[in-house]
């Protein structure tokens, strides 16, 4: 049974003119559709097989893409985090979320946006060195910043007690989480994925297929987050490492990263046929570009890992200072009692010495 034309038209007008379809909503919907269209167009153009023109200023500064599969998750992550912060701060005004964590989280999201949507992304399938910059930004810049944002701690504080007890804590203490968060496993996953991504057909596939390319970046970010989770130790974990163990854990990642970078740097033949066969008439040669990429991984990795080691060492020294102060505070009453007994003993001995001759 069909509605009469007039009734159908009236119902259609009612739906369209409802409170959820105001000018602002229609404008937002149009913006989302436009961003999605531009994002898909950029993704196709970036992997069409023809290299883009050489980067020149100021035009290169405007080569930003708008892939909704990147922009929307980042926007949701930023808005959701800030919403949770506002709720926690309102509920606990005397124990607010540290501002440094908020800054770290937003900076981490901004670095992901920079790596995947900026002019860096426009040349990632043209220059290996540019592609390496993406990997560095995702693994050793964005990931530790996100870990410093302590999202698990914020989620635990934001969630209701029932939700925390029924859903979040069982996941954190599940067997799967205990396995994938074990420090040896996270270390191997991070290092292993770095070697797998650069010395397997995965890298070549990622240059030819946009979906594989996105999956590769997701793998870099996921394994890096797992690695930095126990290293930063801002969030609770089934495996809590002490500062000395965290120092060793982080330090051992540096030589393998250096070795991987040097392996790429010292290669005497092109490692990836895609770059070798690309008809590019500008920029460094394929081997020079490959050496630049290896140098970027080597130098940036050493710098970041050394900075992380210094921060962990700083935390170790501060922890020892706090422990020493706490021990002193616990021992203070006992020391005061000992000094009081010593003072009374000294007074008694002094009195006995002073009154002895008079008594005789």
Confidence of residue 74 (pLDDT cuts 50, 70, 90): very high
Q: What is the pLDDT of residues 107-127, one digit of tens each?
A: 999 999 999 988 888 888 889
Q: Is the pLDDT of residue 48 over 80?
A: no
Mean pLDDT of 163-169: 90
Cis bond upstream, residue 79 (ω within 30)? no
* Residues with Cβ within 8 Å of residue 179, at least 6 apart in sequence: 185
pLDDT at 231: 92
Confidence of residue 318 (pLDDT cuts 50, 70, 90): confident
Confidence of residue 325 (pLDDT cuts 50, 70, 90): low
Q: Long-range contact list for 36-39, CB < 8 A, 24+ apart?
A: 36/66, 36/68, 38/65, 38/66, 39/65, 39/66, 39/67, 39/68, 39/69, 39/70, 39/71
Rounded Cα–Cα distance for residues 164 and 155 (Å): 9
- Position with higher pLDDT, 205 vs 12: 205
Contact call for residues 154 and 209 (beta carbons, < 8 A):
no
Q: Is the pLDDT of residue 225 over 70?
A: yes
Contact call for residues 39 and 65 (beta carbons, < 8 A):
yes
Contact call for residues 213 and 47 (beta carbons, < 8 A):
yes
Confidence of residue 260 (pLDDT cuts 50, 70, 90): very high
Confidence of residue 343 (pLDDT cuts 50, 70, 90): confident
Domain layout of the chain by residue ranges:
35-40+62-275+286-331
């Amino acid at each position: 049974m069909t509605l009469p034309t007039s009734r159908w038209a009236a119902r259609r007008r009612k739906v369209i003119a409802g409170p959820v379809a105001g000018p602002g909503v229609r404008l937002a919907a149009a913006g989302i559709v436009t961003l999605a269209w531009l994002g898909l167009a950029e993704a196709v153009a970036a992997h069409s097989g023809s290299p883009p023109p050489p980067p020149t200023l100021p035009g290169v500064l405007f080569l930003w893409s708008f892939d909704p599969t990147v922009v929307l998750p980042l926007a949701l992550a930023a808005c959701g985090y800030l919403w949770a912060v506002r709720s926690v701060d309102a509920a606990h005004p005397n124990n607010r979320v540290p501002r440094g964590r908020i800054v770290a989280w937003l900076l981490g999201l901004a670095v992901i946006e920079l790596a995947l949507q900026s002019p860096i992304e426009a040349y990632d399938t043209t220059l290996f060195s540019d592609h390496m910059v993406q990997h560095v930004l995702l693994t050793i810049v964005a990931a530790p910043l996100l870990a410093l944002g302590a999202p698990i701690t914020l989620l635990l504080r934001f969630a209701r007690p029932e939700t925390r007890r029924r859903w979040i804590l069982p996941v954190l203490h599940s067997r799967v989480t205990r396995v994938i968060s074990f420090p040896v496993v996270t270390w191997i996953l991070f290092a292993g994925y770095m070697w797998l991504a650069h010395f397997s057909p995965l890298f070549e596939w990622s240059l030819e297929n946009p979906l594989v390319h996105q999956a590769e970046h997701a793998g870099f970010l996921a394994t890096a987050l797992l690695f930095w989770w126990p290293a930063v130790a801002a969030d609770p974990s089934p495996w809590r490492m002490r500062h000395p163990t965290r120092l060793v854990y982080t330090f051992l990642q540096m030589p393998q990263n250096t070795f991987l970078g040097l392996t790429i740097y010292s290669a005497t033949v092109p490692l990836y046929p895609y770059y070798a066969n690309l008809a590019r008439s500008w920029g460094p040669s394929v081997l020079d570009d490959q050496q630049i990429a290896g140098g970027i991984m080597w130098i940036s990795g050493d710098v970041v890992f050394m900075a992380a080691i210094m921060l962990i060492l700083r935390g170790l020294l501060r922890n020892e200072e706090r422990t020493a102060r706490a021990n002193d505070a616990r021992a203070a009453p006992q020391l005061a009692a000992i000094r009081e007994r010593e003072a009374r003993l000294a007074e008694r001995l002094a009195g006995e010495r002073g009154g002895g001759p008079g008594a005789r």
